[in-house]
Chain A
Amino acid sequence: MRTRRDKMGRGVLSVVLCLIALTYLFPYIWMIGTSLKPDDELSNGKLFPEKITTVQYKSLLEGFDAGRIQLKYQYPRYYLNSGFVTLTSVGLVLACDALAAFAFAKFEFKGKQVLFWLMIITMMLPVYATLIPSFYLFSRVYHWVNRYEALILPGVVDAYGIFLLTQYMRTIPSELLDAARVDGAGPLRSFWKIIVPLSRPALGTLAIIKFLGVWNDYLWPLVMIRQEKMFTLPIGIGQMQVRQGMVVWGVQMAASVLATVPVVILVFIMQRQFLRGFTAGAFKG
Chain B
Amino acid sequence: MAQTVGVSSPPTTRIMETAHEPTRTQRFFRGLTPYLLISPFFIGFILFQLFPILFSFFLSTQQWNPYKDGADAFEFVKLDHFNTLFHTARFWNSLRVTGIITLVCVTIGTALAVLLAVLIDAVPDWLSNILRAVFFMPSVTSVVVITFIWKQLLNRRYGLINDLLVSNHIMDAQNFLGDSKLALWSIIVMLIWAGLGWDALIITSSLRNIPEEYYEAARIDGASYIKQFRYITLPLLRPVLLFVVTTGCIFLIGLFAQVQLLTAGNPLHRTETVSLYLYDQAFGYQEFGYASAIAVTLTFIMFAVSFFNFKFLGNRGEV
Contacts and interface: CB of A to CB of B under 8 A. Distances in A.
Interface of A: 10, 13-14, 17-18, 21, 24-25, 27-28, 30-31, 34, 42-43, 45, 47, 95-97, 99-100, 102-104, 106-109, 112, 115, 118-119, 122, 124-137, 153-154, 156-157, 159, 162, 174-175, 177-179, 181-182, 187, 212, 215-216, 218-219, 223, 233-235, 237-238, 241, 246, 249, 252-253, 256, 259-260, 263-264, 266-268, 271-272, 275-276, 278-280, 282-283
Contacts of B196: 24
Given A174-B7, A263-B140, A280-B205, 7 more contacts: A100-B40, A130-B56, A178-B9, A178-B13, A216-B140, A256-B144, A279-B201
B3 A108 contact: yes
Interface in B25-65: 31, 33-35, 37-38, 40-42, 44-45, 48-53, 55-56, 59
A182 B20 CA distance: 9
Main secondary structure of the interface of B (DSSP, over half): helix
A265 to B, nearest CB: 10
12 contacts: A10-B124, A17-B119, A27-B150, A28-B137, A28-B149, A30-B152, A30-B153, A128-B294, A157-B41, A235-B144, A272-B129, A282-B202
Contacts of B80: none
A237 B143 CA distance: 11
B56 A132 contact: yes
A10 to B, nearest CB: 6
A31 B149 contact: yes
B123 A13 contact: yes
A174 B8 CA distance: 7
A132 B292 contact: yes
Contacts of B6: 106, 174, 177-178, 181
B110 interface: no
Contact of B119 (A13, A25, A115, A153): A13
A128 B278 contact: yes
B158 A45 contact: yes
Nearest to B54: A133
B132 interface: yes
A84 to B, nearest CB: 17
Contact of B149 (A30, A100, A102, A233): A30
A168 B294 CA distance: 37
A216 B133 contact: no
Interface in B90-137: 119-120, 122-124, 127, 129-137
Contacts of A97: 41
B256 interface: yes
Interface string B146-167: 1011101100011010010001
A27 B48 contact: no
Task: Please provide the 9 A-B residue pairs with the shortest distance between their CB atoms, ordered closest to farther.
Answer: A279-B205, A45-B163, A43-B158, A103-B37, A133-B55, A107-B34, A133-B52, A130-B52, A103-B34
A45 B50 CA distance: 51
A103 B144 CA distance: 38
A25 B193 CA distance: 10
B256 A124 contact: no
Contacts of A219: 256-257, 279
A174 B149 CA distance: 51
Interface residues of B, number: 94
Interface centre among B140, B143, B282, B292 (most CB of A within 10 A): B140
Contact of B122 (A10, A122, A182, A283): A10
Interface of B: 3, 5-10, 13, 16-17, 31, 33-35, 37-38, 40-42, 44-45, 48-53, 55-56, 59, 119-120, 122-124, 127, 129-137, 139-146, 148-150, 152-153, 157-158, 160, 163, 167, 193, 196, 201-202, 204-206, 240, 243, 250, 253-254, 256-257, 261, 275, 278-279, 282-283, 288, 291-292, 294-296, 298-299, 302-303, 306
A238 to B, nearest CB: 5
Contact of A126 (B124, B137, B253): B253
A129 B53 contact: yes
Given A162-B41, A175-B10, A127 B254 contact: yes
B12 to A, nearest CB: 9
Interface centre among A13, A34, A129, A177 (most CB of B within 10 A): A129
Contacts of A162: 41
B295 A132 contact: yes
B61 to A, nearest CB: 13
A34 B163 CA distance: 15
A21 B134 CA distance: 7
A100 B35 CA distance: 9
Given A128-B298, A272-B129, A283 B206 contact: yes
Contacts of B135: 21, 24
A238 B149 contact: no
Contacts of A21: 131, 134-135
A97 B122 CA distance: 38
A63 B183 CA distance: 34
B53 A100 contact: no
